[in-house]
Structure 1
Amino acid sequence: MESFIILVIWAAIIWLSVEMSKSRDREPVVWGILAALFGILAVIVLALIGTKRADRVAINNYNSAPVERDIKK
């Protein structure tokens, strides 16, 4: 009986990781495998790293040249 409960919790953690990765624009298969191997730790890491879109915006803002309207005269 205990092994069945552990299996259900393990499957729930994998499902949670896959759903979180979809909503954060990450690769669901990779995060499902990571959750299967590392459990709740993978879910916590996924929650902390945020979305891929936000990462791209931060990188683009950092690399972009100043626009004329941003330069003080």
Structure 2
Amino acid sequence: MSFWYNVDTGQVETDENRSRGEQVLGPYATEAEARAALDTAHKKTEQWDSEDRNWNERGVSGTGEGDA
């Protein structure tokens, strides 16, 4: 069974009662993982933003590859 987190209601849902709206995150293997969905998404977003900042600071053309 999979678990889902409904952003609109703040409730964990299962495959049997899952909303079909766009505001459902998942699937997750456990109810606990689904309950932590917003925290997990926030942490991943912060990580990706940090990686983007690091990428942008290095610069795309500063690698020497393909530069004439």
Alignment TM class, shorter chain as reference: 0.3 to 0.5
- Going by fraction, where is helix more abundant, 1 or 2? 1
Task: Judging by fraction of residues, say which structure has more strand.
Answer: 2
